[in-house]
Structure 1
Amino acid sequence: MEPAGSISGKIAVASMVTILLAVLNRVLYKLALVPMKEYPFFLAQVTTFGYVVVYFFILYLRYKAGIVTKEMLALPKSQFIAIGFLEALGVASGMSAGAMLPGPAIPILSQTFLVWQLILSVLILGRKYSFIQVFGCLLVTAGVVIAVASGANNGEFLSQVELLWPALMVASSAFQAAASILKEFVFIDGAKRLWGKPPDIFVVNSFGSGFQALFVFLLLPFLSNIRGIPFAELPAYLRSGCEGAPLLPLLFIAMNMAFNISLLNLVKMSSALVSSLAVTLAVPLSIYILSLPLPYIPEGASLNVHFVVGAAILVLGLIIYNVPRSADQNYKSD
Structure 2
Amino acid sequence: MEPEIWATKSHTTPEYKIHGTLLKQIVAPDIVLQLVPYQAINLLCAVAKGESPKWLQRYCPALGAVLNLYRQLSTPIPIEVQKVAGWLARRAYDVYSRLAQHDPAPCDSSLPQGNWKETGTVYGSPAVRKRRFYSKLRGDTLRVLDRGEDEAAGDCNKFYKTYSKHSLTGGIFVVWCTHSICLGFHSIPLAEGRNDVFSAIYTRFPSAPKVIIYDFACQLAVYCFVREARYFHNTRFLIDEMHAHDHSRCGQACFASNVMQFDDDIRAANTSAAECGNKGMKRIRKSVSFMNYEHAVIYTKTFLDIWNRNIMRRMAKV
Q: Same fold (TM over 0.5)?
A: no
Normalising by the smaller structure, the TM-score range is: under 0.3
Give 1 or 2: higher strand fraction: 2
By percentage of residues, which structure has more helix?
Answer: 1
Report which of the two structures shows the higher radius of gyration computed on alpha carbons. Answer: 2
When normalised by structure 2's length, the TM-score is 0.25
TM-score, reference length from structure 1: 0.25
